[in-house]
Amino acid sequence: MKKKNILKKRGAGILMPVSSLPSNYGIGTFGQAAYDFADDLYSAGQSYWQVLPLGPTSFGDSPYQSFSAFAGNPYFIDLDILIKEGLLKREEAIADWGSDPANVDYALIYENRFKVLKKAFSRSFFVKEPLFDDFIKDTKYWLHDYCVFMALKNYFRGESWQEWPDEYKFRNKKAMKKIEEKLSDDILFWAFCQYEFYKQYKALKTYVNNREIYIIGDIPIYTALDSADVWSKPELFQLDHDLNPKRVAGVPPDMFSATGQLWGNPLYDWDKMKKDKFKWWKERIKCSARLYDVIRIDHFIGIVNYYSIPAEDSDARNGKWVEGPGKALTDIISEAAGDSKIIAEDLGEVSYPVRKLIKKTGWPGMKIMEFAFDDNKKNPYLPQNFTSTNFVVYGGTHDNETMAGYLKGLDDDKLSYIKKYLGLDKDADTLSIIEAIVRLSFMSVANTCIYQMQDYLCLDNSARMNEPSTIGTNWRFRMTEKHIPEDTRKKIRKFTKMYNRMP
């Protein structure tokens, strides 16, 4: 299936994290509900399914803080498929997966999922088969380090690698050889999980692509400190001699936070990366290109200039902007992406050098409708001010309120302005306003239009995916119905067809 027209012709899609799909096991998976959602997208005339990062989640449950920039999340392995393959018995998949079908209970998933997967692993005779051997060869750059990392993390009861004994923290060769022999079964278990993840995902992606739907995947620009990437390749990051971060990532004060956002991710040592021609980035993008038809690079700004915060600070106010690798890295990304396309997340305060580089790459940027209505007729997020077709317009991203939540939080004057701008009656309800904003997006010149599933379902902020600078209640939304309601699908299809965004 050729992809030469992706993001170059008018299209539309839905942002729906895999974790948010319905299932009997507490979290969305690559099982039947994913195939049903692909059918619903097809029925609604959509060209794209956008997902959040698929990596294994760590503390805080954020897909943007993963144990690996390469590995897949074992939570997404569908247990029903394992049952059909004879690796599980139906009764073995029964556990406490949570009492609220609209919410992911990550603590319960963590407690029970791996117990079930280990039962499947105990029957996985095929790990000695050629397909498994091929998988090991295809993933040799990262798989072994990841599996050893996870085995050691399990061995040390979830502690960060920085708390491990020095011989494992600093990867002493003699000590590592000995512990790998001791933990060989557990290391193989984590390889099994990755094999099943990639096998199930490949089958799903083939199905989705055969429906003429492309998957947009999201990759965080940074890695988590507690990750296999930083542990196995510390020389690529700004760490001191004790392997502690010297400075960390974040963003300055903005509309989300008066003290900025202190992400805490270790910063790359770009000089070191340049010396080996960005090999880590090249491998990462090649891996992402196998997963996604379109790769959205979160916080693209950091490639041109990144915000560097002293590691000891408690907020982001004392950070400073530092020049990044720029075109040297985007050239590598373009080469490694192959047929997959790129979206540059360019939100926030974007400097001229960032705009200049994005223009050189030809990659589309982003526009957010929730940022458009501030009574400024020259607001760049208003469709009337779009200066090119090379954009992806969103209602909001995973970091924004749902559209219904956003509207509910507006004062009477702002809400009245939006209604007047959209040509609506003063008594127009929330659903009517959302539909008018969707219509405005769809009729815009932007090549691609993406809305969150929550917005099409008119859900309030209880269904919000993430609130930046908070922890403990994010990434939990799940759709409870097996299908997008038929009347909603028809409405989406009507807009898609009316404004020439059909596949």
Q: Which residues are catalytic?
A: 298, 345, 399
Q: Do the beta carbons of residue 410 and residue 384 sit within 8 Å?
A: no
DSSP H/E element including 365: strand 365-368
Q: What are phi and psi of 425, to 5 degrees?
A: -65, 150
Q: Which amino acid is it at 165?
A: P
| Run of H or E including 304 | helix 301-304
Query: CA 187, CA 265: separation in Å to the nearest integer?
Result: 26
Residues 112, 216, 446, CA angle at the centre, nearest 5°? 145
Angle between helices 486-498 and 32-43 (to 10 degrees): 40
Give 471: exposed, middle or buried? Use CB within 10 Å, 0-12, 13-18, 19+.
exposed
Comparing CA positions, the residue from 249, 357, 256 lying closest to residue 310 is 249
Would you say 327 and 357 are in contact if contact means Cβ atoms under 8 Å apart?
yes
Going by C-beta distance under 8 Å and a sequence separation of 6 or more, which residues neighbour residue 373? Answer: 379, 382, 414, 417, 418, 421
Pair type for strands 448-452 and 305-310: unpaired
Beta bridge partners of 354: none
Q: What is the DSSP string of 316-336?
A: STT-EEEE--THHHHHHHHHH
